[in-house]
Structures are given as structure tokens and as C-alpha cells.
């Protein structure tokens, strides 16, 4: 069977251009790297590289292995991260990645009480949409994301778990003509400027789906990057917007009103993505038990 160190040695040679440079990168002697490459060549049954004046060059057979070896290296790094993460978690660390909306309007009460109960656990929280795609899954214990939103591709051992759902409401400026309406139709809204978040956000996806179902095309809108901007711009009478009802109840500082829409299916559904039970630490299990108990925020 091919040894992963043999394959990674070939990858290092391809990246650094010589056996000596690969040996330095891998913290091994040149003779050890040469021996690995010799054994790999024997198993493949044809030359994998040729020596040249300025180093080595991969043969077509050697080059054909590189994409698969790069995937292998990513998997090995992920496994290494999982092992290291489990070791540190046993000492009391929890790594969370969440959208800013969920952090600011849903997670804070849970985090506050969990920290009071378990002050020895270090909470590492990366809040913001860019972290959803920029972090390695092996370094994260728990992802929080909005339903229907774009999320990173997660390893097979991660499970998505529905967490909370909340009604999506229409918000208007205080003195707007639609404020406090109780019989508003989606058709009427298309004549007003809509303030909403960027494509891919959970609330926007749900709203667009509802309009599409009615064959309504929205042509006037202002696009912003976060829910705070939606509230501020609606308060400034620049248009009407959509948001989770829970968000609205927590922002009494916004000068907005609401209108009741005709029957719809717009729901803000939040999810958690966590490693499957066999890969979780005791700290993560405790937090999942905690965060799924509504009584913990009372």
C-alpha cells in the first residue's frame, strides 16, 4: 500500500522544485526523501520525475498524481485539526462561527448564561458572513447560519440541526402610508422601494421566494450588508423592509412600524451545523444540550 509520506514527499518536490528543498520543508534528510520517492516509483512502476540542472521535473505520471495528493493533504490537515481541537476542548475551549445576525440577536442570551455557568470554558466566536467560508471546518465546533442562506461546504461528519424559527415581518417608517395596515397584499408592495440585505441572506431568500410564487418582480430596492442598515434606512424613510420579528422586538430604538401582510409562508429559520455525536467533545455536547433548552434564556 502507498504510504502517505511518500505521496507528500512527491508533492513537496513538485512545489519546491528539488529534493533538497523538499527535505528542508518536511524537516527530513535528503536521503530519507530520496528513499520515499524510490519506493513510490517502484510501486507506480514508471518514473515520476527526472533530474535536471536546476532541480527535478515531474514526468506526466508524477504530475497526474498531484491533484489527488493535494486532496489527501487537505484531508490529513482536517483530521489533524480535529484531533488538536478535541484535545484543547477537553481543556475547555469552544469554537463558534456564526452570521452576525444570529450572534447579535439570537445567540447572546445563551452565551451570557453559559459563560456564567461555565466560566472556565474559553469561547472563541467569529461573527460575520465572511468567516462562514474562510475558516477550516476542522477548526470549528459549531456553525450557526440562517436557513436558505449560502453556507460553506462542510465535511460529511457535520450534521445540520434546525435551531429556531421566527416569523418574517414587513417594517415601515412610522408615518408611512403602509404603517399599521392589516390587509396589505404583496402586489401593493412592489410600488415601494424595498430595503433588504445582499443576495444569499436567509430573510431575503425567503422574501424573494414569496414574491416569485406570486409572479411579482421587484424593480425598486436598496441593497445593504446587514440588518442594522435595514433598520436604519427604514427609520430614515428610505423605503420598507423585511426582518425577523424577534430582531424587531429587540430594536426599540428603530423608528419603525409594521404592516400585516396577507397569508404567507415567510419564516426565518436558523440552523446549527455540528460534528456528528461521535466526534463531539464533552464541552460541545454540554453547549448543544444547553442551547436547545429554551428555559436557559429565561
CA distance 2 to 42: 10
Cα–Cα nearest to 1, from 43, 33, 38, 47: 43
Q: What is the rounded distance in angstroms from the CA atom of residue 257 to the CA atom of residue 158? A: 40
- The predicted structure's pLDDT at residue 71: 86
List the domains of the chain with CATH numbers: 4-87 (1.10.10.10), 93-164+269-296 (3.40.190.10), 165-267 (3.40.190.290)
- Per-residue model confidence as pLDDT tens for the chain (298 residues): 778 888 888 888 888 888 888 888 888 888 888 888 888 888 888 888 888 888 888 999 888 989 888 888 888 887 776 676 555 544 578 899 998 889 999 999 899 988 888 888 889 999 877 666 667 777 788 999 887 666 667 778 888 888 888 899 999 999 999 999 998 999 999 889 999 888 878 888 889 999 999 999 888 999 998 899 999 999 999 999 999 999 999 998 999 999 999 988 888 888 999 988 878 887 888 899 888 876 665 5
**SS3 sequence, the chain?**
CCCHHHHHHHHHHHHHCCHHHHHHHHCCCHHHHHHHHHHHHHHHCCCCEEEECCEEEECHHHHHHHHHHHHHHHHHHHHHHHHHHHHHHCCCEEEEEECHHHHHHHHHHHHHHHHHHCCCCEEEEEECCCHHHHCCHHHCCEEEEECCCCCCCCCCCEEEEEEEEEEEEEEEECCCCCCCCCCECHHHHCCCCEEEECCCCHHHHHHHHHHHHCCCCCCCEEEECCHHHHHHHHHCCCCEEEEEHHHHHHCCCCCEEEECECCCCCEEEEEEEEECHHHCCHHHHHHHHHHCCHHHHC
pLDDT of amino acid 84: 66
In whole angstroms, give the CA distance from residue 22 to residue 4: 15
Is the pTM of the predicted complex or chain greater than 0.75? no
Among 152, 241, 261, smallest CA distance to 197 is for: 241
Strand partners, 131: none
Nearest to 141 by CA among 70, 73, 100, 87: 87
Report residue 189 as a C-alpha cell: 408592495
Amino acid at each position: 500500500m502507498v504510504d502517505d509520506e511518500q505521496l507528500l514527499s512527491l508533492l513537496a518536490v513538485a512545489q519546491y522544485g528539488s529534493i533538497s528543498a523538499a527535505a528542508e520543508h518536511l524537516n527530513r534528510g535528503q536521503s530519507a526523501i530520496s528513499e520515499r520517492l524510490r519506493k513510490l516509483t517502484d510501486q507506480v512502476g514508471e518514473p515520476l520525475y527526472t533530474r535536471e540542472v536546476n532541480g527535478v521535473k515531474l514526468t506526466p505520471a508524477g504530475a497526474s498524481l498531484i491533484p489527488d495528493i493535494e486532496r489527501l493533504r487537505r484531508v490529513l490537515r482536517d483530521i489533524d485539526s480535529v484531533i488538536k481541537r478535541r484535545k484543547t476542548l477537553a481543556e475547555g475551549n469552544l469554537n463558534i462561527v456564526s452570521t452576525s445576525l444570529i450572534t447579535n440577536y439570537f445567540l447572546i442570551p445563551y452565551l451570557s448564561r453559559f459563560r456564567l455557568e461555565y466560566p472556565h470554558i474559553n469561547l472563541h466566536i467569529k461573527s460575520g458572513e465572511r468567516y462562514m467560508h474562510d475558516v477550516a471546518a476542522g477548526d470549528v465546533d459549531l456553525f450557526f447560519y440562517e436557513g436558505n442562506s449560502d453556507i460553506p461546504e462542510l465535511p460529511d461528519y457535520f450534521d445540520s440541526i434546525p435551531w429556531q424559527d421566527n416569523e418574517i415581518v414587513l417594517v415601515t417608517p412610522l408615518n408611512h402610508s403602509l404603517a399599521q395596515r392589516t390587509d396589505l397584499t404583496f402586489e401593493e408592495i412592489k410600488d415601494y422601494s424595498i430595503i433588504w440585505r445582499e443576495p444569499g441572506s436567509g430573510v431575503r431568500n425567503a422574501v424573494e421566494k414569496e414574491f416569485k410564487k406570486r409572479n411579482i418582480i421587484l424593480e425598486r430596492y436598496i441593497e445593504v450588508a446587514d440588518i442594522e442598515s435595514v433598520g436604519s434606512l427604514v427609520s430614515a424613510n428610505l423605503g420598507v423592509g423585511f426582518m425577523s420579528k424577534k430582531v424587531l422586538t429587540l430594536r426599540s430604538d428603530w423608528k419603525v412600524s409594521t404592516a400585516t401582510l396577507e397569508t404567507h409562508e415567510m419564516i426565518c429559520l436558523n440552523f446549527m451545523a455540528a460534528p456528528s455525536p461521535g466526534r463531539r467533545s464533552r464541552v460541545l455536547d454540554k453547549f448543544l444540550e444547553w442551547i436547545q433548552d429554551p428555559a436557559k434564556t429565561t
